[in-house]
Amino acid sequence: MNTASDSLAQLLQSAAAMQESGRAVLKTMLGMGEIEVGTSEKRCVYSEDKIRLYRYAPLARSAGLKPLLICYAMVNRPYLLDLQPDRSFIRELLHAGLDVYLLDWGYPDGADRFLGFDEYVDGYLRRCVEFVLKEHAIDSLTLLGVCQGGTMSLCYAALHPTQIARLITMVTPVDFKTPENLLSKWAQHIDVGLLTQSGNVSGDFLNLIYLSLMPFRLTQQKYVNLLQMQGDRVQLENFMRMEKWIFDSPDQPATAFREFIQWFFQENRLIRDELTLAGKPLRLKNVTAPVLNIFASKDHLVPPSASIPLGAHIGSKDYEALEIDAGHIGLYVGGKTRKTVPAAVMAWLKKRS
Amino acid sequence: MSAPIGAHPFSAAFLKAWVDQAGAFQELLARLADQSSAGLHPSMPPPHLAPWKDFVDGLGMGSFNPSEMFPGAPALGLSREYQETARRLVELSRQFQQRYTEFAQQNATVMQDAFHVMQKRVDLPPKSPAELYDAWIDCAEDAYHQAAHSDSFARLLADLCNISSAMKVERGKLTEQLARHLDLPSRAEVDSLHRQVRALTAAARKPRKRAQK
């Protein structure tokens, strides 16, 4: 029979084991050195101000598909898609014979504070698309947008439909005002004009907001769980790569950020067909290319309800939604999804080649 | 003519205020933690703004400050603009303190709710400290999730953000003044240059685009 003293002894034993594990974790971490990220070979083929357009070196025979341009979000760094050799969404696409380009927005600074959202979409992104089209002497390419980059890609596809042969959106918010969207609820009462009046919005501020979405898990439990790794070097290196990515957050250019929050989060203009970009009315009905919309069922940043409505608002007759059992980040680096998601993208593209 | 950095009495006072502010924030946090001292005396500036009061007083107009002698009266005299900025900073700080106290209370309620749920959930003694801890995190996140989705939470968070933004704008005004006094490039000057560069870049791009066509 279990007595109180047995339970206490058991607890003390566990506590001692945890202490031992903590020591092993610390010892391994102290000897780890620099963490490498984004290891796939690539070269910069176009640059302008802070932005860089990279082309990845092929890893397999060409699959004969149109080149793919990845438009990542501005709020985080794009190397999440190529975190490490065995956790790389991009590497999987390269192994499948795809020609991959990546638009890196860089780290905006004070010189970029007056750049509007339209200058990012109809300026930098447009010039990158035009560069790829010219390089391959083609009329259209495949555009893949991630998170906020997905929203930007949607805007682009609506403004320049003839340049987009296929559109893939991943964890992309379309309806910014669904009940599950906590970020959106918090954004409604923020005076974003005042917030950006004294310059760019710091990456630290955004991280604070993200951490506040699940503060106990993201600021406490995550680090306590390190103890379970028992000093396993590989696991700890994986953890540190992710930790680096999470807190490597660029500042947001004031004007573009203000417009993004106001037009999309607060006024939900995209889905209401009330958005004007670069002086042109932007209508989702103009998106006529085949669309693959990938969303994550456990996404706490972009809940599925924010992505799912896309199909009902675009003009495309070829629309496919793909729900993945993962979180916002796990979609790219999770145990199974890091293989299954790129495979699904390739299968979808091949079917339409 | 501007005096060298450090020799100018204005810059010395400003820099002292800037440095002192960092230390004073710790005191503010300590006060916030102690709910009993949440309500400061209205005439007493919050600790992190006291250095700015010294700075404004140091301009020579501290003893002649009608708005201090007659609350609500407009600021007058040579240091009028600084008095206004300092007054706005004090007021914003008071608002921030008030809203932060409410925020701290809301968080305390979340923790209480989490404990209540935890008490119901854990009937048996936990098998390990890890199990106990994970159960606590689940309860805490559930309770927080409920609160965080409420309109009152969103408004409180937005208020804190908006007040902080307003304080940053006011602090920027003081920094701008200092830069002018020291003949340093100010934010306004740099902004103006950025706008000019943007306009020139856009103008240069137009003929390039026409030539491509």
The answer to whether A182 and A213 are in contact (CB under 8 A) is: yes
Mean pLDDT on A318-331 = 96
Find which of B176, B194, B200 to mutate to test the A interface (most A CBs within 10 Å of its CB). Answer: B194
Residue B119: per-residue pLDDT: 82
Structural domain spans, chain B: 9-182
CB contact under 8 Å between A197 and B198, yes or no, is: no
Q: A228 touching B, CB under 8 A?
A: yes
Residue B130: per-residue pLDDT: 80
Q: pLDDT exceeding 70 applies to what percent of chain A?
A: 99
pLDDT at B105 over 70: yes
Which of A188-197, A268-277, B73-82 has the weakest average pLDDT? B73-82
Residue B24: per-residue pLDDT: 56
pLDDT at A303 over 90: yes
Pick the CATH number of A42-55+62-76+86-188+254-351 from 3.40.50.1820, 3.40.50.620, 3.40.50.2300, 3.90.1200.10: 3.40.50.1820
Structural domain spans, chain A: 42-55+62-76+86-188+254-351, 202-250
Measure the CA–CA gap between A305 and A293, rounded to whole angstroms.
Answer: 12
Residue A26: per-residue pLDDT: 87
Mean pLDDT on A294-303 = 96
Q: At A197, list the tokens.
A: 């009046």
Residue B45: per-residue pLDDT: 55
Give the closest-approach CA distance of A145 to chain B in angstroms. Answer: 27
Chain A residues near residue B134 by CB distance under 8 angstroms: 221
Residue B48: per-residue pLDDT: 58
- A277 beta partners: A280
Measure the CA–CA gap between A34 and B196, rounded to whole angstroms.
Answer: 41
Mean pLDDT on B122-132 = 73
Which of A45-54, A339-348, B21-30, B98-107 has the weakest average pLDDT? B21-30
* Maximum CA extent, chain B: 79
Backbone angles phi, psi at A48, to 5 degrees: -160, 125
Measure the CA–CA gap between A272 and A248, rounded to whole angstroms.
Answer: 33
Minimal-distance CA residue of chain A relative to B153 = A186
CB contact under 8 Å between B129 and A195, yes or no, is: no
CB contact under 8 Å between B141 and A228, yes or no, is: no
Angle subtended at Cα A276 by Cα A275 and Cα A281, rounded to the nearest 5 degrees: 100
pLDDT at B99 over 90: yes
Known catalytic membership, residue A155: no
Query: In Å, what is the CA distance from A60 to each residue of A40, A41, A95, A124, A348?
Result: 13, 13, 5, 30, 19
Give the closest-approach CA distance of A255 to chain B in angstroms. Answer: 12
pLDDT at B106 over 60: yes
Measure the CA–CA gap between A309 and B75, rounded to whole angstroms.
Answer: 55
Q: How many CA atoms lie within 13 A of A136 on its CB side?
A: 21
Mean pLDDT on A25-30 = 88
CB contact under 8 Å between B141 and A217, yes or no, is: yes
Q: A16 touching B, CB under 8 A?
A: no
pLDDT tier, B65 (very low <50, low <70, confident <90, very high otherwise): low
Residue B78: per-residue pLDDT: 79
Non-local (6+) Cβ contacts of A24 within 8 A are: A230, A231
Chain B residues near residue A221 by CB distance under 8 angstroms: 133-134, 137
- The residue among A98, A97, A196 whose CA lies nearest residue A141 is A98
pLDDT at A157 over 80: yes
CB contact under 8 Å between A186 and B157, yes or no, is: yes
CB contact under 8 Å between B154 and A186, yes or no, is: yes
Residue B15: per-residue pLDDT: 47
Nearest neighbour of B195 by CB, restricted to A18, A114, A189? A114
Mean pLDDT on A293-306 = 97
SS (H, E, C) chain A: CCCHHHHHHHHHHHHHHHHHHHHHHHHHHHCCCCCCCCCCCEEEEEEECCEEEEEECCCCCCCCCCCEEEECCCCCCHHHHEEECCEEHHHHHHHCCCCEEEEECCCCCHHHCCCCHHHHHHHHHHHHHHHHHHHHCCCCEEEEEECHHHHHHHHHHHHCHHHEEEEEEECCCCCCCCCCCHHHHHHCCCCHHHHCCCCCECHHHHHHHHHHHCHHHHHHHHHHHHHHHCCCHHHHHHHHHHHHHHHCCCCECHHHHHHHHHHHHHCCHHHHCCEEECCEEECHHHCCCCEEEEEECCCCCCCHHHHCCHHHHCCCCCEEEEEECCCCCHHHHCCCHHHHHHHHHHHHHHHCC
Chain B residues near residue A220 by CB distance under 8 angstroms: 137
pLDDT tier, A180 (very low <50, low <70, confident <90, very high otherwise): very high
Q: pLDDT exceeding 70 applies to what percent of chain B?
A: 63
Q: A219 touching B, CB under 8 A?
A: no
For the segment A203-255, what is each residue's pLDDT rounded down to a tens digit?
A: 999 999 999 999 999 999 999 888 888 888 999 999 999 999 999 999 999 99
Measure the CA–CA gap between A28 and A30, rounded to whole angstroms.
Answer: 5
The model's pTM is 0.84
CB contact under 8 Å between B168 and A198, yes or no, is: yes
Which chain B residues touch A if contact means CB-CB below 8 Å? Answer: 125-130, 133-134, 137, 140-141, 144, 148-149, 151, 154-155, 157-159, 161-162, 165-166, 168-169, 172, 187, 190-191, 194-195, 197-198
pLDDT tier, A330 (very low <50, low <70, confident <90, very high otherwise): very high
Q: pLDDT exceeding 90 applies to what percent of chain A?
A: 84
What is the gyration radius of the CA atoms in chain A, in angstroms?
Answer: 22
Residue B181: per-residue pLDDT: 87
Residue B6: per-residue pLDDT: 40
pLDDT at B43 over 60: no
For the segment A51-74, what is each residue's pLDDT rounded down to a tens digit?
A: 999 999 999 999 999 999 999 999
pLDDT at B37 over 50: no
Burial (CB count within 10 angstroms: exposed 0-12, middle 13-18, buried 19+), residue A134: exposed
